[in-house]
Amino acid sequence: MSAKPSCDEFDPNNLRVEQALEQIHQNITPLVDTIELPLMQVHNHVLAQDIRSPLNVPAYTNSAMDGYALRAADLPAEGNVTLDMIGTAYAGTPFNHAVQGGQCVRIMTGAKLPDGADTVIMQEHASADGDRITFAAAHNEGQNVRHPGEDIAVDEVVLKQGQRLQAAELGLLASLGVPQIKVRRKLKVAFFSTGDELRPVGEALEEGQIYDSNRYTLFGMLRQLDVEILDLGVIRDVPEAIEAAFEQAADQADAVITSGGVSVGEADYVKQTLDKLGEVSFWKIAMKPGKPLAFGRVKQAWFFGLPGNPVSVMATFYQFALPALRHLMGETAEPPLTFQVPCSEALKKRAGRTDFQRGILHRDEQGKLTVSAAGMQASHILSGMSRANCFIILPLEADNIEAGTLVEVQPFRGLM
């Protein structure tokens, strides 16, 4: 059964999610400022240069096991062979004599393979009687040996500019001995909340007032993105106050994010202010939650006017502001991970808007991955966002979804 059509849906003036994303992406050109920083300070920065390896990794032929290095030619086709152990090779302290026929060298993981040896036999497959070591048949030539450049070859491009440097990349750069790296500087993002009904935490609420939660949500999301943050607080719905806040934000930051004040009833004076200070489009996006979204420039800063409802703030931040900020900081990010799983229950949906429902991805009794709705789906139910671990993305054309249908999910953990 499909839900009753509503005149809210299929507004021809609504912009599709993909169209809005495209327009934002087309407008924003990445900042080009680069800085050179020591390796320990580049975490979460975006790489501003391709990194070519100055060396082979591994740099020299070495052992993958604790065992014995020997010449494969000495290994028997059947039965056993006993060889003389002539020394030990440690990681960091090589054994500097060649291994001859009839000889072997005790060797530790990572130690340089002595000249003459071509194979390492695990210690578990050998038996020692003093310096006489016995090996059985059925070993392969060259086994347990790591070769120079098999991980990374000298001069190979290991990391590309535009990549965000995280733990693995820091380790990789260290393994190449790179001490200083050219990266893009971090973005500075200013944000504030608008609304006469909003009170900061710590103050008592009077009738009709609510606590300003969006600023905390935004703070958390921006912290996760690891940008510099300028928090301008709650701004009253007074044109002069709004204008002053926009001026200050735009003068000090690369991007300005606000919540509230962009819906039809409120947009008028915000719009007047923004017309004075920059060039901003007020969109109605065919999405739920979300819908009102303002995007453009305020002075030199990029501006994202997110809706006021707490879940809408998160959904529009993740879907629009986040990819835009990443693009602005020069990151060549893949689109966030999505995949399909069956939903364990029916989902209410009206055709005409793309839904970003809040879902809980979990395993059913058979151990199969499935998704259920995280409670009520209204755009003010922030507790649902907290219970959820993913968006369930239901396409614009879709109507009500029956239980068991394959739906697309976007895990929150894959978003940053």
CB 244, min distance to ligand AMP, A? 18
CB-CB neighbours of 47 under 10 Å: 24
CB 303, min distance to ligand AMP, A? 15
214 contact, one of Mg ion, ligand AMP, none, CB 5-8 Å limit per kind: ligand AMP
Residues 6 or more apart in contact with residue 399 via CB below 8 angstroms: 2, 3, 349, 350, 351
CB 282, min distance to ligand AMP, A? 12
> Rounded distance, CA 77 to CA 366, Å?
49
> Rounded distance, CA 265 to CA 341, Å?
39
Residues 6 or more apart in contact with residue 116 via CB below 8 angstroms: 71, 98, 99, 100
Among 63, 214, 357, 370, binds ligand AMP (CB under 6 A): 214
Q: Judged by CB, which is closer to ligand AMP: 195, or 278? A: 195
By the rule CB under 6 A, 62 interacts with ligand AMP:
no
By the rule CB under 5 A, 162 interacts with Mg ion:
no
Q: Which residue is nearest to ligand AMP (CB)?
A: 308
Chain-centroid distance, C-alpha 177: 25
Contact stretch for ligand AMP (CB under 6 A) within 101-109, 220-228, 261-269, 277-285: 261-269
Contact string 205-244 vs Mg ion (x = CB under 5 A): ----------------------------------------
By the rule CB under 6 A, 399 interacts with ligand AMP:
no
CB 193, min distance to ligand AMP, A? 4
Contact string 184-203 vs ligand AMP (x = CB under 6 A): ---------x-x-xx-----
By the rule CB under 6 A, 260 interacts with ligand AMP:
yes
Contact stretch for Mg ion (CB under 5 A) within 83-91, 144-152, 252-260, 328-336: 252-260
Residues 6 or more apart in contact with residue 257 via CB below 8 angstroms: 189, 190, 191, 218, 222, 303, 304, 306, 317, 321
Q: Judged by CB, which is closer to ligand AMP: 121, or 381? A: 381
> Rounded distance, CA 54 to CA 56, Å?
7
CB 313, min distance to ligand AMP, A? 8
Among 58, 195, 296, 305, binds Mg ion (CB under 5 A): 195
What angle (nearest 5°) sits at the alpha carbon of residue 152, between those of residues 150 and 153?
85
Contact stretch for ligand AMP (CB under 6 A) within 58-66, 94-102, 199-207, 253-261: 253-261
310 contact, one of Mg ion, ligand AMP, none, CB 5-8 Å limit per kind: ligand AMP
243 contact, one of Mg ion, ligand AMP, none, CB 5-8 Å limit per kind: none
By the rule CB under 6 A, 261 interacts with ligand AMP:
yes
By the rule CB under 5 A, 310 interacts with Mg ion:
no
Of 303, 286, 49, 290, the closest CA to residue 163 belongs to: 49
By the rule CB under 6 A, 231 interacts with ligand AMP:
no
Angle between helices 267-277 and 239-252 (to 10 degrees): 40
Site for ligand AMP in 284-343 (CB under 6 A): 307-310
By the rule CB under 5 A, 260 interacts with Mg ion:
yes
Residues that contact Mg ion, how many (by CB under 5 A) = 4
CB 200, min distance to ligand AMP, A? 10
By the rule CB under 6 A, 263 interacts with ligand AMP:
yes
Which residues of this chain interact with ligand AMP, rule CB under 6 A? 193, 195, 197-198, 210, 212-215, 259-261, 263, 266, 307-310
